[in-house]
Structure formats: structure tokens, C-alpha cells
Structure 1
Amino acid sequence: MYRFISFLAGLQNQFINFLRFAVFLVMAWIGGLKAFQYEADGIVPFVANSPVMSFFYSKKAPEYQQYKNPEGKTVQKNVDWHNENRTYLFSYGLGAVIVGIGFFVLLGIWFPKIGLLSGVLTFGMSLVTLSFLITTPETFVPNLGGDFPTPHYGFPYLSAAGRLVIKDIIMLAAGLVIAADSAKRLLVSERG
């Protein structure tokens, strides 16, 4: 058992680099999807309700609720509204930023200064994303009525959107681990 524990302990640096690769993969994939209409439409409730990001759109919440495109379906009047709202333009920019942070995280394997910056950026991005739990009504199950003696809506009942957002706490923690590891490597290299 001691050998196995020792073996695992010796792989810590490789596991941190695997964490960097995992963060890169998620950011490159999710950021890349921001170039597609269905993904851009899907982030509208989060952005429109965010006090930090809503200024990117030209329309105010909750107007977007009338122009939702179901995944896999395109309604032209909804697309026209999203074009006026700058939904797609913002999504392209956000996607480029997310992909860029992901590449910085990956480069952190070889360049600790870039790794430190990317860890801080990952942490900050995740804080903004987690704030959607407070600002976006769609993150909790709505009260749709029903005959249950104890209704299952509101806090703590996360909707699909809320379950998507809460997972960003893992990215928040990963950003801190990446930043701390990069800082440690920088200190070691300065000591020579």
C-alpha cells in the first residue's frame, strides 16, 4: 500500500498538467461552440440578467423569453431578434476569450508566468459564471403549480441551466490550483 501511495504522490505534477489539459479541452470545446447559433441563443438568459454582462446586449431582460429558439430548431423571427440584440456578435467574442484562456492554461505547462495568468483568469471567469445562480431566474426550477404537498421549485432545486452553472465551481477550484502551481514554479525558478 505504501508503494501505491508513494507512486501517486510522485505523479502530482503530471496530474496538475492533466488538470491543465482538461481545463483547456473544456474551454476550447465550449468556447468553440459559442460560434454556433444554438449555443449563442442558450447563453442569453445568463447574459441578459447579469449586472456584469447585460450591457453587451441591446435588449433588456426578460424580453428574450419571447424569442427563444429550441435547440435544433431555428425560427427566423427569433434569429432576427437575436441579431438586433447583438446575441451572436457577443457570443463570438466570448467564445474567442474562452478559447484564448484555454490555450493560456495549456501553455502554462511550459510557461509558468502564462500559467499563473491563466489560472487567475479561469478563477475570475468562473466567479462570473457562478454569479448566474443569483442573477438568472432560469437556474432554479420554476413554480409550475401542481398537486404535491411540498412543491419542488425555487432554491435549492436547480434546473438544467442551474446544474450546468454549478459545475463551474470545479473550474474555479482548477483555476486556483493552476495559479498556485504556476506561482510555486516561478518561485523555484527565481531561487535558481
Structure 2
Amino acid sequence: MSVYEQSLRTLGRGDKLGTHLIRLSIAIVFIWIGLLKFVPYEADSITPMVAQSPFMSFFYKHPDQYKEHFTHEGELKPEQRAWQTANNTYGYSSGLGTVELVIAGLLLLNPVSRKAGLAGGVLAFFTPFVTLSFLVTTPEAWVPALGDAQHGFPYLSGMGRLILKDTMMSAGAVVAIADSARALLRERGAA
């Protein structure tokens, strides 16, 4: 067998490690972003998406007023923070962060509970669909018309590019779901 074939055989066995790495990386994203949801700057940054979402705007007391009170990352405006507090921006963000931490925990429980791992995978699969809906509901996901010829669809803003990356989260979750499902079948002797 040639070195090339040996290399291919070794690389061909990487799928098991890859599955664990995918699950771990999805959990890391949920942990990191979930913890940031407890910090005002992250809560402030998701305001346009939540305020304009037909599925989430009801969590805010005054979603139609967010533009008047929007702050940018790193910007401290005490009067805007007071409004965001009254708007339930921080309460909602903390709740969302808790959900994201639970999803991460379920994913990481996979070695000891395949059912928890499966539930985490399913939740990790569906969560990005909510996020991806912001491409339709949030004008800030697209480059604004400020004079340059490249604006609107298909020109994603920084927010839009961040949202689009969630497609990888869903794809990776499919791998985690399949791995947990196969393990559950093996445990039942049905594999």
C-alpha cells in the first residue's frame, strides 16, 4: 500500500472524530454566545432582529421604538440602557441566553445520555431557522443605500453575514443528530 493510500485510509477514519468536534464546536458557540446574552452590549445588538421579528417582537414592550434607543457595540449611553431595561431587552436576552446554554448542555451530555444529545442536536438544528428568518424581517441584515451601488439584496451587512453562518450550525447539527440516533439504536440492539 502506498503512502498516499495509507494517508487516505487514515483521513477516511476521521469522521468519528469530526462528529465529536462538530458537536463540541456547536456547544462552544452556544455557550459563548449564550453567556454574552447576559451582557448589555450583546442584548443591545440583537434589538433590531427581535424588534422586527413577527415571531419575537412581542417580548419587547416597545419594539417600534428601538431605532431611537439603539446603541452600537462598545457604546455606553445610560439613558439608552434605561430604556432597554424598561423595554425588556435585557430580560429577553437573558432568557435567550439561558435557552442557548441549555442547548449546549444537552449536546455535551451526549456521551452519558444519548437522548439528551439527540434533544440538543434537534434544538441546535432548529434554532438557526429562527435566526435565518431575520434575513427576511431585518433590513439591517443588508447593506443600506448610502450612495454606493452595492446595497440591498444580495449584499449582506455584517449582521447579515453573521446570520448566514447559522446555516453551518444546522448542517453540523444534522451530523450530531444522526450520531446520537445511531447510538440509541445500538443501545436498543436495533442497529
TM-score if structure 1 supplies the norm length? 0.93
Q: Among 145, 153, 157, which residue is 1:155 paired with? A: 153
Which residue of 71, 81, 86 maps to 2:83?
81
Amino acid at match of 2:168: I
**Residue correspondences, number:** 187
Q: Shift in Å at residue 8 of structure 1?
A: 2.0
Looking at structure 1, the residues matched to 95 and 8 of structure 2 have their Cα atoms a distance apart, in angstroms, of 45
Please state how far the C-alpha of 1:38 moved relative to its aligned partner. Answer: 0.4
Structure 2 unaligned blocks of 5 or more: none
Task: Give the aligned CA root-mean-square deviation in angstroms.
Answer: 1.2
Whole-Å separation in 2 of the counterparts to 1:35 and 1:175: 24
Q: Describe the SS at the equivalent of 1:191.
A: coil
One-letter amino acid of the counterpart of residue 173, structure 2: G
Matched with 1:19 is: 22
* Distance in 1, Cα, partners of 2:175 & 2:30: 16
Deviations 1:71-106 (A, max 9, x none): 212111111110111000011110011011011111
Give the Cα separation in 2 of the matches to 1:188 and 1:156: 45
User: Unpaired runs of 5+ in structure 1?
Assistant: none
Q: Distance in 1 between matches of 2:155 and 2:36?
A: 27
Separation in 1, partners of 2:74, 2:66: 18
When residues 9 and 110 of structure 1 are mapped into structure 2, their CA distance, relative to the original with a 3 A threshold, is: farther
User: Which whole-Å CA distance do the structure 1 matches of 2:111 and 2:157 have between them?
Assistant: 36
TM-score w.r.t. length of structure 2:
0.93
Q: 1:35 aligns with which of 38, 41, 51?
A: 38
Distance 2:78 2:182 in 1: 52
Q: 2:144 aligns with which of 132, 142, 149?
A: 142
Distance 2:134 2:62 in 1: 18
Kindly indicate whether residue 57 of structure 2 is the aligned counterpart of residue 59 of structure 1: no
Q: CA deviation at 1:11?
A: 2.8
CA deviation string 1:26-74 (max 9, x = no partner)? 111110001111000000011111111111111123x211111222121
AA matched with 2:8: I
The residue type paired with residue 56 of structure 2 is M
- Percentage of identical aligned residues: 42
